[in-house]
Protein backbone atom coordinates (compact mmCIF):
# COMPACT_ATOMS: atom_id res chain seq x y z
CA UNK A 1 0.00 0.00 0.00
CA UNK A 2 1.31 3.39 -0.99
CA UNK A 3 1.32 5.91 1.78
CA UNK A 4 1.46 9.62 1.49
CA UNK A 5 3.04 11.59 4.31
CA UNK A 6 2.28 15.24 4.74
CA UNK A 7 5.28 17.09 6.04
CA UNK A 8 5.16 20.70 7.12
CA UNK A 9 7.96 23.21 6.70
CA UNK A 10 8.56 23.06 10.43
CA UNK A 11 9.00 19.27 10.23
CA UNK A 12 11.52 19.66 7.46
CA UNK A 13 13.49 22.24 9.37
CA UNK A 14 13.40 20.06 12.48
CA UNK A 15 14.53 17.08 10.41
CA UNK A 16 17.38 19.13 9.03
CA UNK A 17 18.47 19.90 12.59
CA UNK A 18 17.94 23.61 12.22
CA UNK A 19 16.24 25.76 14.83
CA UNK A 20 13.10 27.15 13.22
CA UNK A 21 13.35 30.81 12.42
CA UNK A 22 16.92 31.06 13.57
CA UNK A 23 20.37 30.94 12.14
CA UNK A 24 22.44 27.80 12.28
CA UNK A 25 24.39 27.95 15.53
CA UNK A 26 27.99 28.14 14.43
CA UNK A 27 30.72 30.69 15.05
CA UNK A 28 30.22 33.65 12.77
CA UNK A 29 31.58 37.11 12.17
CA UNK A 30 28.67 39.55 12.31
CA UNK A 31 29.37 42.76 10.39
CA UNK A 32 26.88 45.39 11.59
CA UNK A 33 26.98 48.79 9.90
CA UNK A 34 25.00 51.98 10.56
CA UNK A 35 24.69 54.85 8.08
CA UNK A 36 23.85 58.48 8.81
CA UNK A 37 22.71 60.15 5.59
CA UNK A 38 23.79 63.63 4.49
CA UNK A 39 20.08 64.24 3.90
CA UNK A 40 18.51 62.26 6.74
CA UNK A 41 14.97 63.24 5.75
CA UNK A 42 15.30 62.26 2.11
CA UNK A 43 13.29 59.14 1.35
CA UNK A 44 14.89 59.03 -2.11
CA UNK A 45 18.42 58.97 -0.69
CA UNK A 46 17.40 56.25 1.76
CA UNK A 47 15.94 54.10 -1.03
CA UNK A 48 19.01 54.69 -3.20
CA UNK A 49 21.33 53.54 -0.41
CA UNK A 50 19.16 50.49 0.24
CA UNK A 51 19.30 49.58 -3.46
CA UNK A 52 23.06 49.99 -3.36
CA UNK A 53 23.38 47.77 -0.29
CA UNK A 54 21.33 45.06 -2.01
CA UNK A 55 24.08 44.72 -4.65
CA UNK A 56 26.42 43.43 -1.92
CA UNK A 57 24.41 40.20 -1.62
CA UNK A 58 26.09 39.01 -4.84
CA UNK A 59 29.50 38.80 -3.13
CA UNK A 60 29.91 35.07 -2.50
CA UNK A 61 31.36 35.27 1.04
CA UNK A 62 28.34 37.28 2.26
CA UNK A 63 26.37 34.55 4.02
CA UNK A 64 23.46 36.75 4.96
CA UNK A 65 22.52 40.31 4.20
CA UNK A 66 19.87 42.20 6.14
CA UNK A 67 19.09 45.84 5.54
CA UNK A 68 17.22 47.74 8.21
CA UNK A 69 15.84 51.02 9.44
CA UNK A 70 15.35 52.23 13.03
CA UNK A 71 12.55 50.38 14.79
CA UNK A 72 9.94 52.51 16.53
CA UNK A 73 10.70 51.12 19.96
CA UNK A 74 10.18 53.30 23.01
CA UNK A 75 12.64 56.19 23.41
CA UNK A 76 15.31 55.42 26.00
CA UNK A 77 18.62 57.14 26.73
CA UNK A 78 20.59 54.03 25.79
CA UNK A 79 18.90 53.59 22.40
CA UNK A 80 20.65 55.22 19.44
CA UNK A 81 18.07 55.78 16.71
CA UNK A 82 19.85 58.72 15.08
CA UNK A 83 20.97 56.66 12.06
CA UNK A 84 18.86 56.08 8.95
CA UNK A 85 19.91 52.77 7.36
CA UNK A 86 21.66 49.65 8.65
CA UNK A 87 23.30 46.67 7.04
CA UNK A 88 24.05 43.35 8.70
CA UNK A 89 26.14 40.61 7.15
CA UNK A 90 27.46 37.30 8.37
CA UNK A 91 30.84 35.97 7.34
CA UNK A 92 32.31 32.56 8.05
CA UNK A 93 35.74 33.93 8.91
CA UNK A 94 38.05 36.91 9.20
CA UNK A 95 39.45 35.97 5.80
CA UNK A 96 36.01 36.13 4.24
CA UNK A 97 35.49 39.59 5.70
CA UNK A 98 38.81 40.72 4.21
CA UNK A 99 37.84 39.20 0.86
CA UNK A 100 34.58 41.16 1.04
CA UNK A 101 36.33 44.46 1.83
CA UNK A 102 38.49 44.11 -1.27
CA UNK A 103 35.81 42.68 -3.59
CA UNK A 104 35.11 44.78 -6.73
CA UNK A 105 31.37 44.87 -5.95
CA UNK A 106 32.07 46.31 -2.49
CA UNK A 107 34.52 48.88 -3.86
CA UNK A 108 31.97 49.83 -6.56
CA UNK A 109 29.30 50.23 -3.89
CA UNK A 110 31.49 52.61 -1.86
CA UNK A 111 32.44 54.59 -4.98
CA UNK A 112 28.86 54.91 -6.20
CA UNK A 113 26.96 55.47 -2.95
CA UNK A 114 29.31 57.01 -0.36
CA UNK A 115 28.21 60.49 -1.43
CA UNK A 116 24.90 59.70 0.30
CA UNK A 117 26.24 59.32 3.84
CA UNK A 118 27.95 61.70 6.23
CA UNK A 119 28.93 59.07 8.79
CA UNK A 120 29.25 55.31 8.98
CA UNK A 121 29.96 53.15 12.02
CA UNK A 122 30.94 49.49 11.77
CA UNK A 123 30.83 46.83 14.47
CA UNK A 124 32.65 43.58 13.68
CA UNK A 125 31.40 40.98 16.14
CA UNK A 126 32.70 37.46 16.71
CA UNK A 127 29.82 35.35 18.00
CA UNK B 1 8.74 -2.02 -5.22
CA UNK B 2 9.74 -0.06 -2.20
CA UNK B 3 12.11 2.78 -2.85
CA UNK B 4 14.34 4.53 -0.41
CA UNK B 5 15.25 8.12 -1.05
CA UNK B 6 18.26 9.62 0.58
CA UNK B 7 17.69 13.25 1.37
CA UNK B 8 20.42 15.53 2.64
CA UNK B 9 19.95 18.32 5.16
CA UNK B 10 20.43 20.81 2.34
CA UNK B 11 17.58 19.17 0.41
CA UNK B 12 15.31 19.42 3.41
CA UNK B 13 16.11 23.06 3.93
CA UNK B 14 15.60 23.75 0.22
CA UNK B 15 12.28 21.89 0.34
CA UNK B 16 11.24 24.02 3.29
CA UNK B 17 12.01 27.12 1.26
CA UNK B 18 14.69 28.27 3.67
CA UNK B 19 18.08 29.63 2.63
CA UNK B 20 20.67 27.22 3.97
CA UNK B 21 22.54 28.56 6.97
CA UNK B 22 20.47 31.70 7.18
CA UNK B 23 17.54 33.04 9.09
CA UNK B 24 14.05 32.69 7.74
CA UNK B 25 13.44 35.79 5.64
CA UNK B 26 10.64 37.46 7.49
CA UNK B 27 10.36 40.90 9.05
CA UNK B 28 12.16 40.97 12.39
CA UNK B 29 13.19 43.42 15.05
CA UNK B 30 16.92 43.06 15.62
CA UNK B 31 17.98 44.28 19.08
CA UNK B 32 21.74 44.87 19.00
CA UNK B 33 23.42 45.93 22.24
CA UNK B 34 27.03 46.86 23.02
CA UNK B 35 28.52 46.95 26.50
CA UNK B 36 31.57 48.87 27.69
CA UNK B 37 32.79 47.36 30.96
CA UNK B 38 33.90 49.40 33.97
CA UNK B 39 36.93 47.13 33.99
CA UNK B 40 37.51 46.59 30.28
CA UNK B 41 40.57 44.40 30.83
CA UNK B 42 38.90 42.08 33.34
CA UNK B 43 38.32 38.66 31.83
CA UNK B 44 36.31 37.72 34.92
CA UNK B 45 33.92 40.64 34.49
CA UNK B 46 33.53 39.80 30.82
CA UNK B 47 32.68 36.18 31.60
CA UNK B 48 30.26 37.22 34.34
CA UNK B 49 28.41 39.52 31.97
CA UNK B 50 28.29 36.81 29.30
CA UNK B 51 26.82 34.38 31.84
CA UNK B 52 24.25 36.99 32.79
CA UNK B 53 23.30 37.59 29.17
CA UNK B 54 22.78 33.87 28.66
CA UNK B 55 19.94 33.94 31.20
CA UNK B 56 17.96 36.13 28.80
CA UNK B 57 17.52 33.23 26.37
CA UNK B 58 14.82 31.86 28.69
CA UNK B 59 12.51 34.78 27.93
CA UNK B 60 10.00 33.28 25.48
CA UNK B 61 9.81 36.21 23.03
CA UNK B 62 13.59 36.13 22.48
CA UNK B 63 13.75 34.29 19.14
CA UNK B 64 17.50 34.26 18.95
CA UNK B 65 20.28 35.27 21.28
CA UNK B 66 23.86 35.75 20.16
CA UNK B 67 26.57 37.00 22.47
CA UNK B 68 29.76 38.35 20.93
CA UNK B 69 33.10 40.02 21.41
CA UNK B 70 35.01 42.34 19.06
CA UNK B 71 36.34 40.51 16.02
CA UNK B 72 39.99 41.04 15.20
CA UNK B 73 39.30 42.57 11.80
CA UNK B 74 41.69 45.15 10.41
CA UNK B 75 41.70 48.52 12.19
CA UNK B 76 39.78 51.14 10.26
CA UNK B 77 38.52 54.58 11.30
CA UNK B 78 34.92 53.53 10.80
CA UNK B 79 35.18 50.39 12.95
CA UNK B 80 34.24 50.78 16.61
CA UNK B 81 35.95 48.03 18.57
CA UNK B 82 36.10 49.92 21.87
CA UNK B 83 33.30 47.81 23.44
CA UNK B 84 33.87 44.49 25.22
CA UNK B 85 30.66 42.40 24.93
CA UNK B 86 27.69 42.43 22.57
CA UNK B 87 24.26 40.88 22.61
CA UNK B 88 21.99 40.38 19.62
CA UNK B 89 18.38 39.29 19.86
CA UNK B 90 15.60 38.91 17.35
CA UNK B 91 11.99 39.71 18.19
CA UNK B 92 8.93 39.08 16.06
CA UNK B 93 7.37 42.44 16.84
CA UNK B 94 7.54 45.71 18.72
CA UNK B 95 5.16 44.22 21.29
CA UNK B 96 7.54 41.31 21.89
CA UNK B 97 10.39 43.75 22.47
CA UNK B 98 8.27 45.64 25.01
CA UNK B 99 7.33 42.36 26.71
CA UNK B 100 11.05 41.54 26.92
CA UNK B 101 11.95 44.91 28.44
CA UNK B 102 9.43 44.38 31.22
CA UNK B 103 10.05 40.66 31.76
CA UNK B 104 11.22 39.71 35.30
CA UNK B 105 14.27 37.85 33.92
CA UNK B 106 15.37 40.96 32.05
CA UNK B 107 14.83 43.19 35.07
CA UNK B 108 16.76 40.71 37.23
CA UNK B 109 19.60 40.71 34.71
CA UNK B 110 19.86 44.52 34.82
CA UNK B 111 19.71 44.54 38.61
CA UNK B 112 22.34 41.84 39.02
CA UNK B 113 24.81 42.72 36.29
CA UNK B 114 24.57 46.46 35.51
CA UNK B 115 27.33 47.19 38.04
CA UNK B 116 29.71 45.62 35.50
CA UNK B 117 29.22 48.15 32.71
CA UNK B 118 29.93 51.85 32.41
CA UNK B 119 28.11 52.34 29.12
CA UNK B 120 25.56 50.53 27.00
CA UNK B 121 24.35 51.40 23.51
CA UNK B 122 21.27 49.80 21.96
CA UNK B 123 20.28 49.70 18.30
CA UNK B 124 16.72 48.57 17.56
CA UNK B 125 16.58 47.66 13.89
CA UNK B 126 13.54 46.78 11.80
CA UNK B 127 14.66 44.49 8.97
User: In this structure, which topology does domain B26-126 adopt according to CATH?
Assistant: Alpha-Beta Plaits (3.30.70)
Question: Is B83's Cβ below 8 Å from some Cβ in A?
Answer: yes
Per-residue pLDDT tens digits of chain B, which is 127 residues long = 445 445 444 444 444 444 444 444 578 999 999 999 999 999 999 999 999 999 999 999 999 999 999 999 999 999 999 999 999 999 999 999 999 999 999 999 999 999 999 999 999 999 9
Instruction: Say if the Cβ atoms of B86 and A121 lie within 8 Å.
Output: no
Return the residue of B nearest to A65 by Cα.
B22
pLDDT band at A90 (very low <50, low <70, confident <90, very high): very high
Task: Report the SS3 class of residue A18.
Answer: coil
Question: Is A5's Cβ below 8 Å from some Cβ in B?
Answer: no
Distance from CA of B48 to the nearest CA of A (A): 16
pLDDT band at A25 (very low <50, low <70, confident <90, very high): low
pLDDT of residue A117: 98
Handedness of CA A89, B81, A27, A91 (dihedral sign): positive
Question: Is A57's Cβ below 8 Å from some Cβ in B?
Answer: no
For chain A, strand residue ranges (E) read 29-37, 64-70, 85-91, 117-126
pLDDT band at A82 (very low <50, low <70, confident <90, very high): very high
Q: What predicted TM-score, i.e. pTM, was given to this entire model? A: 0.81
pLDDT of residue A5: 47
- Domains of chain A: which residue ranges? 21-126
Spell out which residues of chain B touch residue A24, defining contact as CB-CB under 8 Å: 21
Q: How far is CA A43 from the centre of its chain?
A: 20
Instruction: Say if the Cβ atoms of A79 and B123 lie within 8 Å.
Output: yes
pLDDT of residue A27: 83
Instruction: Say if the Cβ atoms of A68 and B126 lie within 8 Å.
Output: yes
- CATH of the domain spanning A21-126: 3.30.70.100
Q: What is the ipTM of this complex?
A: 0.80
Question: Is A97's Cβ below 8 Å from some Cβ in B?
Answer: yes
The total of other beta-carbon atoms located within 10 Å of residue B124's CB is 22
Amino acid sequence: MKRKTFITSADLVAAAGLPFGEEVQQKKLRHQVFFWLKNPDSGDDKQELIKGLQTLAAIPVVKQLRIGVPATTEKRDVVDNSWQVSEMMLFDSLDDQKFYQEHPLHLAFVKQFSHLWQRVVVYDIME
